[in-house]
Amino acid sequence: MSDRAPGTQNERSGPSRSAALTRRQREVFDFVSGFVAEQGFSPSLEEIAEAFGLSSVATVHKHVKHLVDKGYLRKAWNRSRSVEPVPAETASESIQLPILGTVAAGRPIEAIEPDAAVAEQLSVPREMLPGRRDHFVLRVRGDSMIEDQICDGDFVVIEERKEARNGETVVALVDGDEATLKRFYRNGAEVRLVPANANMSEMEFHASQVEIRGVVRGLIRQF
Which positions are catalytic?
Answer: 144, 182
The pairing of strands 135-141 and 94-104 is parallel
- Are the CB atoms for 94 and 126 separated by under 8 Å? yes
**Rounded to an integer, what distance in angstroms lies between the CA atom of residue 100 and that of residue 117?**
10
Query: Residue 128, SS3?
Result: helix
The overall longest dimension of the chain from CA atoms, in Å, is: 53
Cα 139 to Cα 40, 48, 118: the distances in Å are 33, 31, 16
179-203 residues labelled b (16+ CB within 10 A) or e (exposed): bbbbbbbeeeeebbbbbbbeebeeb
- Cβ atoms of residues 136 and 199 within 8 Å: no
